[in-house]
Structure 1
């Protein structure tokens, strides 16, 4: 009787599954890109001009929008527009009075208050740093020098984020919808269409349309406006397609060492040799930090 040959199937070669890399940078990657960003010397003057003539001068308007969103208040319509552009910003050197350290006349052997004494009094009325140093009225969520903005993300939408969206979508024009740059004389036509929903027809004010755009994106629900979150949302306005091409998006990094060339010249058409002539939003923020105009929390 013949023995049957044992047929041993050769082991199939093992193949490692390729892990598909996300097209969205990680928070750490955003922080590293920003921290290592160097603005090209020949572009610094142009960036400063935009900051001085378009961004900081309109800070009160951006802050008013942030406050309207935070308070859940409707912006005035074009028919009954009121001046809501009063800034909550107080110049840094005007925030504290210069009252000398006070003496307590009723205490025996009275001595001037020490800095340690002052810092341990949350609701002090006199002293080196002035009245109610820890009062939240002095340190607003949009205040670049506040504890909230220096050491952690605040709940209020940073005015400089609204400014960057205004730049990217409207080229700083206050006659356009913050949603997509369509004119305020009518509803939006591009995506998102038929906005804003404010209870009346056109024309619209920039403020009421901006509040609608922010709420539509659910930015009013955000509680931590960290640097990675801000950069991700700004990049998301124009999509993450550049990362798939292996380059950093010019919408954030143009005019800096983080971008050289490559641009979508129209929808779906990428030109590897084209160079963006528009400064990146992250470059504006970087220059503002370099000039100590803002301080963005990293986490």
Structure 2
């Protein structure tokens, strides 16, 4: 009788898109933590939205020229009949068409190609506790190059100290996040979890507190040091997915599911 080969089942190393969506939609935030989460959203996340958006624009290469570059003395003080109105005064006027209704509607239905500002905000919290004096790569101080993994960053053409913005742009490009074309919910959650690694899911079959702490999707279990897992330790840090869930509940953002 011919022997059949045993089929080896390989455990996935990370959740699927559908699993991420279901966990997010089924996420129930710990009611005792909502005040803490709202405070962080109001005083840190939303308060620094413009700063995070500027970083996203720099990563995408969409740095808009100052308005003064359009209205120069030569254009301000010319009589109307001296201007050739059939041609744009300056390419910078494209900035006014950057967020058209059609583009906004499209980004509401499917994920945008730009790194969402709220992704950068969550990474900033998880790695730096919203401290603008630390590297987005890993929370090391901006007064020098990064020491922990990834070490010797950023590569920006000069030595320390560094600004938060230039280091953040380097961090996001180093992780190749600028190459993502669709920032749907699964992508946002997967890339945030990747910051800390998929060890919780792969080796311990629990949801990462990096995403789900302060919700029904996480109870206990935590890496207390590199490579050292404590099954009874409980994360005291709010999870990134929980922050985003609360922002959706408050209608501050909507993250496309696909």
Change (3 A) 1:229 1:271: same
Which residue in the other structure is 2:210 paired with? 251
Q: Deviations over 1:47-104 (max 9, x none)?
A: 111101110000010001011111266xxxxxxxxxx9xxxxxxxxxxxxxxxxxxxx
Greater mean alpha carbon deviation, residues 207-216 or residues 63-72: 63-72
Q: How many residues are treated as equivalent by the alignment?
A: 226
SS, match of residue 212 in structure 1 = helix
The answer to whether 1:204 aligns with 2:159 is: no
Q: Deviations over 1:183-227 (max 9, x none)?
A: 111111111111111111111110011111111111111110011
Per the normalisation by structure 1, the TM-score is 0.72
Which residue in the other structure is 1:294 paired with? 253
Which residue in the other structure is 1:162 paired with? 120
Which residue in the other structure is 2:86 paired with? none
CA-atom RMSD, angstroms?
1.9
Q: Quote how far apart the aligned CAs of 1:138 are.
A: 4.0
The answer to whether 1:59 aligns with 2:49 is: yes
Q: Quote how far apart the aligned CAs of 1:18 are.
A: 2.6
Which residue in the other structure is 1:76 paired with? none
Q: Distance in 2 between matches of 1:228 and 1:19?
A: 24
Change (3 A) 1:217 1:72: farther
Q: Distance in 1 between matches of 2:38 and 2:50?
A: 19
Q: Deviations over 1:254-275 (max 9, x none)?
A: 0000001111111222111111
Structure number with higher relative contact order (C-alpha < 8 Å, ≥ 6 residues apart): 2
Higher helix fraction (1 or 2): 2
Q: Distance in 2 between matches of 1:193 and 1:139?
A: 42
Which residue in the other structure is 1:195 paired with? 153
Change (3 A) 1:137 1:149: closer
Greater mean alpha carbon deviation, residues 150-159 or residues 14-23: 14-23
Q: Deviations over 1:20-62 (max 9, x none)?
A: 1112000000000000000011111111111011100000100
Q: Distance in 2 between matches of 1:205 and 1:281?
A: 24
Q: Distance in 1 between matches of 2:177 and 2:227?
A: 28
Which residue in the other structure is 2:27 paired with? 37
Which residue in the other structure is 1:137 paired with? 99
Contact between 1:176 and 1:184, CA under 8 Å: does it hold in 2?
yes
2:223 corresponds to which of 245, 260, 264:
264
Q: Deviations over 1:98-131 (max 9, x none)?
A: xxxxxxxxxxxxxxxxxxxxxxxxxxxxxxxxxx
Mark the runs of 5 or more structure 2 residues left unpaired by the alignment.
Answer: 67-96
1:276 corresponds to which of 235, 245, 254:
235
Change (3 A) 1:197 1:240: same
2:39 corresponds to which of 29, 33, 49:
49
Larger gyration radius, structure 1 or structure 2? 1
Which residue in the other structure is 1:28 paired with? 18
Which residue in the other structure is 2:191 paired with? 233
